[in-house]
A and B are shown apart, each in its own frame.
Chain A
Amino acid sequence: MSETAPPIISVQNVTKRFGSFTALENITLDIRPGEIFALLGPSGCGKSTLLRIIAGLETATEGHIMIDGQDMAGIPANKRPVNMVFQSYAVFPHMSVADNVAYGLKLERLPKPEIAAKVEEALAQVHLSDFAHRKPDQLSGGQRQRVALARALVKRPKVLLLDEPLSALDAKLRDAMRLELVKLQESVGVSFVIVTHDQSEALAMADRIAVLEAGRLRQLDTPAGLYKQPVDRFVADFIGSINMFAVIGQHDGATQAETTLETAELGRVRVSSARLPASGQGGLVLAVRPERVKLADAPPESADAIAVAGHLGDVAFQGNSSIAEILLAGGASLAALVSEKEADRLMQAESGSPVTAWWRADDMLILPENALSSGG
């Protein structure tokens, strides 16, 4: 992966409208050579549409797609140097596994021995060598996906496009396949663009993630960047779990460098003015990840701690850790990630017993409702 090399795919100001519905609005992003790039967002956010525009299966209403420096305008799907793994895999049911993989090569009019060799190699790569003569109906879902992968990769695409590659698999196979896809990408070296609605999938696999919502690009960053520095409430909420408190009042602090934010749950909170988001629309929210929330019997002395008193609610066991629910005044609640040992202690405590939740002010995010400066 290289950050300085020219992008392998460049999406420039792409807008897609279906009638009066805008599926994608002015999307600009680059995909670097050799990276796994995830398009993440809730269903209907336009991520699949963008993938299909890159593949040439849909036409953008406005904007350009450049692949390896070449403008793709007017170039049909069958002439583009990218290949796709479909959500349903679309493994041709009337052809054997080997014929499926060979299909794209036959269209290139390669000599037969060369096709055979390439097919064999591709099938070995996805561990399907023994299944070459099977029909797709004799394969499991996971095996069919491998056929789809081999069929696309054997064309040596500049970028492999994967539309929800893991959504049709069961939970256990999904985890195994995540790892395998990453390994496969490392061995073939081409960029993968993965469309997914599953944030954990994107976080686990991708080098960089573009978060889309309602046809607009909300944030593009590394998984760690998205998690630690979400740009707005939507991204924070979508990536991982987070406690959020709406800001209902904003006052000048004691000094210029300080601002006081008021929330219903936490009361007044003093924050450094420098941490207020520079742009964005809608109100502000204060947000803190559950793993940053600590529990104590009394508020800590520390000056930069933010504390809130509440009562202990349910404790949900999650294996090596647990989520404790803290009931706050006014019906709100707060989630705190607690260790196994602490969970045991909390389980013994009586439900409803008073408890104080606190976190360091630096661990708290101050986010705008929507980082985009104007709504569509």
Chain B
Amino acid sequence: MVSRTRQKRAPAGPFDYSRKVSLRLVFFLGAIFLYAPIVVLVIFSFNDSRRGGNVIWKGFTTKYYEKAFNNDALVESFINSLTIALVSTIFAVILGAVTAVVLWRFRFPLKPVYEGMVSLPIVIPEICMGVSLAVFFSSFGLYVPRDVAFPLNLTNIIIAHITFSFPFAAMVIRTRLNSFNREMEEAARDLGASEFQVFRDILLPHMRPGLVAGALLAFTLSLDDFVITFFTSGPNTVTFPIKVYSMVRFSVTPEINAASTILILITLAVTFVAMRFQSFEEPRK
């Protein structure tokens, strides 16, 4: 018996914390804390002031975006970053997927040890991983020759990025696999599918949202990374964060704000795509 009369809002229950003004205020202030610096950064990317560009507002301009786009070193570093992210994502998803399948499907001796090994790159401090890879590449003579053609000159960084991002991808894909109904596989086999056909026709389609989510995560992680790249990059293989870092150390200019704003926009776009994907894949109830 549903009556359609609209009533004033029901009083908050004893544990409707989301309706307590004091708690809402904390949430609100927390959100301001998280966003204010970024908003200020974006605003000042339009500031018409060369020196100390982040202090005094001198009027609106888009010239620093123009400047950023005409900065060859910056653009090159950006292309490097995107290339590294794309290549490492492909490898990370493949490695992540096989890792996830092993952990999900098989029982084998020392499995917890293997599980621990896979999750180590997620938990150890970045600096340790960066340092060890730097030493590894130099002491094993794995230094990529200076004049090697693009994108092979990025090999070291790509290897490093695959190493830290594939465990994340594996984690995401495994979560997806856990929701797989083993009876589907048995039904397919019962209907005459071979091992490979089961994998291709049943398991892979089920994994797809996990693969996409894993790929997006690996991509963002790669684009985001500073510390590990800082230790594995050479003077000729500069990524976007490394370039921005050296610019920041040199001086703070609106050009950095402009470049940062562009990267923030890309991140927002990737996040948006990720969310769209999730809402597509998850059946609406």
A residues within 8 Å of B by Cβ? 17-22, 25, 57-59, 61, 76-77, 214-216, 375-376
* Residue total for B at the interface (Cβ-Cβ under 8 A): 11
Let me know if B1 and A376 touch, CB within 8 A: yes
User: Shortest distance in angstroms between A12's beta carbon and chain B's nearest beta carbon?
Assistant: 19
Q: Are A22 and B14 in contact (CB under 8 A)?
A: no
The answer to the question of B13 belonging to the interface, with a C-beta cut-off of 8 Å to chain A, is: yes
Given A22-B2, A216-B1, A376-B1, A17:B7 Cβ within 8 A: yes
**Docked-complex contact A58 and B6, CB < 8 angstroms:** no
CA distance A20 to B4 in the complex (A): 5
Is B246's CB within 8 Å of the partner chain A?
no
- CB-nearest residue of chain A relative to B13? A58
Query: From DSSP, what is the main secondary structure of chain B's interface residues?
Result: loop
Cβ of A56 to closest chain B Cβ, rounded Å: 8
User: Within the complex, what minimum Cβ distance (angstroms) separates A161 from chain B?
Assistant: 16
* B10, CB-defined interface residue at 8 Å: yes
Do A20 and B13 have beta carbons less than 8 Å apart? no
Q: Decide: A214 and B3 in contact? CB cutoff 8 A.
A: no
Measured CB to CB, the closest approach of chain A to B172, in angstroms, equals: 31
Q: Is the CB of A21 within 8 A of B11?
A: no
Separation of A373 and B10 alpha carbons in the complex (Å): 28
A76 touches B10 (CB 8 A): no
10 nearest A-B pairs in the assembled complex, by CB-CB distance: A376-B1, A214-B1, A22-B3, A59-B11, A17-B7, A215-B1, A21-B2, A20-B4, A376-B3, A22-B1
A20:B6 contact, CB within 8 angstroms:
yes
B2 contacts which chain A residues (CB < 8 A)? 20-22, 376
A333 → B minimal CB distance (Å): 31
Give the residues in chain B near A376, CB-CB below 8 Å: 1-3
Chain B residues with CB under 8 Å of A21's CB are: 2
* A58 to B, closest residue via Cβ: B13
| 29 A-B residue pairs with CB within 8 Å | A17-B5, A17-B7, A17-B10, A18-B10, A19-B6, A19-B7, A19-B10, A20-B2, A20-B3, A20-B5, A20-B7, A22-B1, A22-B2, A22-B3, A25-B1, A25-B3, A57-B13, A58-B13, A59-B11, A59-B13, A61-B7, A76-B14, A77-B14, A214-B1, A215-B1, A375-B1, A376-B1, A376-B2, A376-B3
When distances are taken between beta carbons in the complex, the residues of chain A under 8 Å from B13 are: 57-59
- CB neighbours (8 Å) of B11 from chain A are 59
Q: Nearest Cβ in chain A — how far from B11, in angstroms?
A: 5
Alpha-carbon gap, A80 to B121, bound state (A): 54
CA distance A375 to B3 in the complex (A): 10
Alpha-carbon separation in the docked complex, A17 to B11 (Å): 11
Q: Which residues of B contact A215 (CB under 8 A)?
A: 1
Smallest CB gap from A78: residue in B: B14
Question: For residue B3, which residues in chain A have a CB less than 8 angstroms away from its CB?
Answer: 17, 20, 22, 25, 376
- A-B pairs with CB below 8 Å: how many? 37
Name the distance in Å between B1's Cβ and chain A's nearest Cβ.
3
B contacts, CB < 8 Å to A: 1-7, 10-11, 13-14
Q: Which residue of A lies closest to B6 (CB)?
A: A20
Q: With a CB–CB cut-off of 8 A, which chain B residues contact A58?
A: 13
Besides A21-B2, A77-B14, 19 other A-B contacts (C-beta < 8 A): A17-B3, A17-B5, A17-B7, A17-B10, A18-B10, A20-B2, A20-B3, A20-B5, A25-B1, A25-B3, A57-B13, A57-B14, A59-B13, A76-B14, A214-B1, A215-B1, A375-B1, A376-B1, A376-B3
> Distance in Å from the Cβ of A284 to the closest Cβ of chain B?
22
Cα A19 to Cα B2 in complex, Å, equals: 10
Closest to B2 in A: A21
Q: How far is the CB of A262 from chain B (nearest CB, A)?
A: 30
Please give, as numbers and ranges, the residues of chain A lying within 8 Å of B14 by CB-CB distance: 57, 76-77
Bound CA span A217–B149, Å: 82
Between B6, B10, B11, the greatest number of chain A beta carbons within 10 A of the residue's beta carbon is seen for B10
A214 to B10, CA, bound (A): 19
Q: Which residues of B contact A216 (CB under 8 A)?
A: 1
Closest chain B residue to A25, Cβ basis: B1
A20 cross-chain contacts in B, Cβ below 8 A: 2-7
Interface centre among A17, A25, A76, A375 (most CB of B within 10 A): A17
Shortest Cβ gap from A153 to chain B (Å): 23
Q: Which residue of B lies closest to A372 (CB)?
A: B1
CB distance from A376 to the nearest CB of B (A): 3
CA of A20 to CA of B3, assembled, Å? 6
Q: What is the CA–CA distance of A18 and B2 in the complex, to the nearest angstrom?
A: 10
For A57, what are the chain B residues with a Cβ–Cβ distance below 8 Å? 13-14
Chain B contacts for A22, CB-based, 8 A: 1-3
Q: Looking at the assembled complex, report how far the CB atom of A282 sits from the nearest CB atom of chain B, in whole angstroms.
A: 14
* A61 proximity list for chain B (CB < 8 A): 7, 10
On chain B, the residues within 8 Å of A59 by CB distance are 10-11, 13
Q: How far is the CB of B151 from chain A (nearest CB, A)?
A: 55
- For A76, what are the chain B residues with a Cβ–Cβ distance below 8 Å? 14
Least Cβ–Cβ distance between A64 and chain B, in angstroms: 15
On chain A, the residues within 8 Å of B7 by CB distance are: 17, 19-20, 61
A376 to B4 CA separation, bound complex (whole angstroms): 10
Chain B residues within 8 Å of A375, by CB: 1
Closest residue on chain A to residue B4 by CB atoms: A20
Q: What are the residues of chain A within 8 A of B5 when measuring CB–CB?
A: 17, 20
